[in-house]
A and B are shown apart, each in its own frame.
Chain A
Amino acid sequence: MHDIRLGTEDVIRRQIELASRNHKLFQDRNVRAFNVMGAIGSGKTLLILRLAERLKDKGLRVGAIAGDVAGDDDYQRFVAAGLVAANLNTGDDCHLDAHRVGHALESFPLGDVDVLFIENVGNLVCPADFPLGTEGELVVISVTEGDDMVRKHPKMFAQTDVLAVNKVDLASFVGVDPMVLVDDYRRLNPHGKVVLTDAKSGRGADDLLAVLGL
């Protein structure tokens, strides 16, 4: 028996390289792109729509890529709201990756948008391992999922610098103190920024835009 040392390509570094290509494309086309991750049903799509309304008021053109395992429900919501949109079904994958997004961007009219939201597959685990090349990342959870959602997915929150705690208007109905989520997040990510939102009413959307630098 003998051991051989070898250096095959790091498969995560490969992902990072593909993400860098997307990043360069966004920069070249002057598009500010954001990876919107989060729990299933946390309100990612509606939150994006609320942000888009405000950005449109500022004269910015907004696009969205709807990442889902199957179906075009979110895509149809974006289209109905007048966003430049694309649907990106992963088939069976539980996350978007830079390769798949890169192909979606080949046919996406980047020249028609100033801001692009890429809505990831609802999942608080896998998307954290796959950078897409966006300038910012946002993770959305809602109080209706319980006050333990952050501590149950520590690595996602330790690595994502903006957190939206959505549906805060329902907190008292479901007996959840949003500050438990905020405190857990601060312990995991001392530099992370948190915004409490209620996408239905639009509460917190302006603060979220400010945190994203928009």
Chain B
Amino acid sequence: MHEYSLAHALLEGLTEHLGQYPVQGRVKAVHIRKGELLILSEEALAEAWRILTDGTPVAGSELRIEKVPVRVRCPACGYEGPVRYVSEEGWHFVVPVLACPQCTGRAEVVEGRDLAIVGLSVDDAPLDRPSTEERNGSRRLLGEDRDLCG
């Protein structure tokens, strides 16, 4: 049960970012990457987000979670890629095995412990009837961020 503290850390990072690069319009969804190795309940994370964002500029936003599968690098044979999984009948769980699937050597985790906000979905409808110029400039206000919609 550390979903609240991690949701809080995510929100802090986002708040800081939006302070520097404000967006025009309501944030409808916040997209995050969540590594497969993290022991986090997605339901609890979404609930923590709902509660913690109340009263903030991203209140009412939906947390959309993209799972990041484990990738490893093997120092012994040079393999880099996905791992094999243990799936036992009755365990009701599929668990990544942190060993090289090629040579069985000890492998280093490259991906799978991530937890970061990677994007926002923003409603284009203006909040306070900003001028056309302001609306057109909204993307410029995003600073270095790239706009996926081109």
Q: Which residue of B lies closest to A6 (CB)?
A: B145
Q: Are B97 and A158 neighbours in the complex by a CB distance under 8 Å? A: yes
Q: Which of A63-71, A103-111, A124-132, A134-142 contacts B (4 or more CB under 8 A)?
A: A124-132
- Annotate A51-82 by CB proximity to B: 1 below 8 A, 0 otherwise: 00000000000000000000000000000000
- Size range of the chain A interface in the assembly: 20 to 34
Residues of B within 8 Å of A188, CB to CB, are 86, 95, 97
Q: Annotate A3-45 by CB proximity to B: 1 below 8 A, 0 otherwise.
A: 1111111111110100000000000000000000000000000
Chain A residues, CB < 8 A from B5? 93
Contacts of B91 in A (CB 8 A): 151, 154
Asked if A10 and B86 make an inter-chain contact with CB atoms under 8 angstroms apart, the answer reads no
Cβ-defined contact, B122 with A4, below 8 A:
yes
* Distance between Cα atoms of A9 and B114 in the complex (Å): 10
**Interchain CA distance A2-B31 in the complex, whole Å:** 13
Check if B14 sits within 8 Å of A8, measured CB to CB.
yes
Which residues of chain A have C-beta atoms less than 8 A from B96's C-beta? 158
Residue of A nearest to B27 (CB): A4
B1 near A94 with CB under 8 A, answer: yes
What's the minimum C-beta distance from A77 to chain B, rounded to whole angstroms? Answer: 27
B97 touches A4 (CB 8 A): no
Q: Are B95 and A4 within 8 A (Cβ)?
A: no
In contact, B115 and A187 (Cβ under 8 angstroms): no
User: Which B residues contact A (CB, under 8 angstroms)?
Assistant: 1-2, 5-6, 9-10, 13-14, 16-17, 21, 23, 28, 31, 35, 37-40, 86, 88, 91, 93, 95-99, 104, 106, 113-124, 142, 145-149
